[in-house]
Amino acid sequence: MDAEPRPLGKPPSACLSRRQALWRMGVTGLSLAVGSARLPVALAQADQLASSDALSGVELPPDVGQAELQVYVEATGHRLRGLFLDYWRANGAAAVYGNPISEPFAAPNGYYSQAFERGIFQYRPEFLYTADPIVRLMPLGELALRDRPAGFRPDGWWGMDNDARLVAAQRPLDPMDEAVARVLAAGGVFVEAMGHTIGGEILAWYTFNEGLFYLGGPLTEPLAEGGRTVQYFEGGLLQAGKDGVALAPLAAELAPDLGIDTAPVPRGDLPPYDELLFWTVDTPNPLGDPYAPGPKWIEVSLAEQRLWAYQGDTVVSSTLVSTGIEPNGTDLGLFHVRLKFPVQDMQGFTDATGEVVGFGDAPPAMIPYEVKAIPHVVYFNMEAEALHGAYWHNNFGQQMSHGCVNLPLDFAAWLYGWAPLGTGIWVHD
């Protein structure tokens, strides 16, 4: 069953549904996990960060399919490669997190790190064998609140005229407080672990950009500062103004105090960053602007047997797919690209009902299967389900697989380069 691509230039209704799904997941996750998700940063050591060339003693990311290409960002004079390049591309690149302002360095909390204008990326090896992102933001919010500079003008993003109100905004709220009730009535959330609310356009930005993973919990209530509404989170500072919501350049402002070396480095023979460098082939179904702002994410509809690739709210490309047929239906939920292989053999075994019960060599009484040289394999959950090319059938639009999402070969080749590690994937009915 074929389906028409969604009109260009308009956010599809499914995009709003994805936001609602993220919203529900985020509220639950915040209530259960945000307190334990805070990084073990020793604030007393914060101004003693190691220089960018001192990486001894930190665990470096393994090869899990990150781009091999290294690029140069001319705007700030720094290089990007590997895991941080992938997660930066997946999460909106300069439009969301700004450009890199350092080379990789070892942070005192033990993590391999790199500073961008609006946040400091850190590789978190404890999440490597989970379905969660393995790059998070260093918690700069507490440092910003502790070390608010006194010399900025009132029209700066820090502001100067509201110290008493900022102190009040940091006080945790009681769940029964009338202020909490007002936020909840307006569609906001209360993060009990932090004692603060998130609402309005700040919550919309937070949920769409997976703030639970990257920004952590709120440290304050929203407040007026420098002519904008701002709210401090563990990983950064969100500011809402006439141009919408964006992260403040917290990392750039704090870098000198943190001892981060931001001096530009020579470009050498590196190519300047361009998103199209990662396209090994052109998309066979071009729909929208590949430079559209916003995070990359992929939507898969089981009912329509179709996939859409997005940049923010812009549909970049789309294709018919073949998802899992019962008893091996494709899992529903919100996932991320977590592991990639340019080509891979897949081997497993089923029971008498046809249900996949394991991988590798089949034990007695099990029915083995093996498919050789599967191209462009992109794993997205802990059930070994992947997006990948399928050369053994051309029946896209019909369920065909053991749970993976089968793609036409030309589309799979394009998607492999377009979707870096960390790209969000939403699979729904």
**Residue 285 corresponds to which amino acid?**
N
pLDDT at 337: 98
User: Would you call the peptide bond into 327 cis, given omega within 30 degrees of 0 as the criterion?
Assistant: yes
pLDDT at 148: 66
How confident is the model over 101-129, as pLDDT tens digits? 999 999 988 999 999 999 999 999 999 99
**Rounded-to-integer distance, Cα 171 and Cα 194, Å:** 10
In a 10 Å sphere around its CB, with 0-12 CB exposed, 13-18 middle and 19+ buried, how is residue 40 labelled? Answer: exposed
Question: How high does pLDDT run on average in the chain?
Answer: 86
Segment holding 205, helix H or strand E = helix 200-208
pLDDT at 291: 96
How confident is the model over 183-225, as pLDDT tens digits? 999 999 999 999 999 999 999 999 999 999 999 999 999 998 8
Statement: residue 9 has pLDDT above 50: no
Name beta bridge partners: 286.
317
Domains of the chain: 13-42+50-258 (no CATH), 279-428 (2.40.440.10)
Which of the two residues, 422 and 365, has the higher pLDDT score?
Answer: 422
pLDDT at 352: 84
Mean of the pLDDT values across residues 322-338?
96
pLDDT at 163: 73
Statement: residue 15 has pLDDT above 90: no
**Rounded-to-integer distance, Cα 166 and Cα 145, Å:** 9
Statement: residue 306 has pLDDT above 90: yes
pLDDT at 53: 53
CB 183 within 8 A of CB 196: no
Name the nearest CA neighbour of 248 among 273, 229, 269, 271: 229
Percent of the chain topping pLDDT 70: 84
- The alpha carbon of 25 is separated from its chain's Cα centroid by a whole number of angstroms, namely 15
How confident is the model over 140-178, as pLDDT tens digits? 999 898 876 543 333 444 444 457 888 899 999 999 999
Q: Which residues contact 400 (CB under 8 A, 6 or more apart)?
A: 322, 323, 325, 390, 393, 406
**Residue 320 corresponds to which amino acid?**
L
How confident is the model over 362-400, as pLDDT tens digits? 888 888 888 899 999 999 999 899 999 999 999 999 999
- The alpha carbon of 246 is separated from its chain's Cα centroid by a whole number of angstroms, namely 15
pLDDT at 48: 39
In a 10 Å sphere around its CB, with 0-12 CB exposed, 13-18 middle and 19+ buried, how is residue 187 labelled? Answer: exposed
How confident is the model over 27-62, as pLDDT tens digits? 445 543 444 333 333 333 333 343 445 687 899 999
**Rounded-to-integer distance, Cα 218 and Cα 170, Å:** 9
How confident is the model over 278-297, as pLDDT tens digits? 999 999 999 999 999 999 99
Burial 315-340 (b: 16+ CB within 10 A, else e): bbbbbbbbbbeeebebeeebbbbbeb
